[in-house]
Amino acid sequence: MELDSKVQASKAKSTRRRVLEYIIDETMLNVGSEFVWLWVATEPENRQILALSISKERNMFVAERYLSNLIKVHGKHPVSTDGGTWYPMACQFLKLDHHIHSSYEKSLIERKMQYIKDRTESFDDYFPCRVKNCKLKHVHNWLRLFIDYHNNEIKHVN
């Protein structure tokens, strides 16, 4: 059993990404007949998507929960955002350095957001949500698959 835990620990270390900072943004998506917020965190050096999340609201509490989950996986790093009023308070609560996107960071995150939106719109066209009061599980599952595919493609390009 001890060997299994060592193997799992070494796998976790080898798959853990080097993170300099979090570049974070959110955008509204249409899922079926409702709108949801898509939260995205990327890393500027390797340009991989670190985390995607969806919520029905956009506020400081949702931002804090999203950042908190990001920290659990990748540790504490500076946060770059677009100036949304919910980010500074969430970062302050979590004791994270926060700054507004530089033009380079803004370019990176905006291109990534458009890329994701283009793919999710196609998904919704082919697999529309028809369930009333949907819990969005199918969207979460698709986003997890999308992250794995995207990050694998980025790895092979770099």
Mean pLDDT of 85-95: 96
Say which CATH number the domain at 48 has: 3.30.420.10
Domain count, the chain: 1
φ and ψ at 19, to 5 degrees? -120, 125
Residue 14 domain-assigned (yes or no): no
Average pLDDT, the chain: 84
Residue 10 domain-assigned (yes or no): no
pLDDT score for 63: 97
Residue 124 domain-assigned (yes or no): yes
Task: Give 91-157 as a DSSP string.
Answer: HHHTT--EEEPPHHHHHHHHHHHHHHHHHHHHHHHHS----TT---HHHHHHHHHHHHHHHHHHHHH
Residue 9 domain-assigned (yes or no): no
Measure the CA–CA gap between 123 and 125, rounded to whole angstroms. 5
Domain of 84 in residue numbering reads as: 20-157
Q: What is the pLDDT of residues 122-158, one digit of tens each?
A: 776 666 677 777 778 888 888 888 889 888 888 777 6
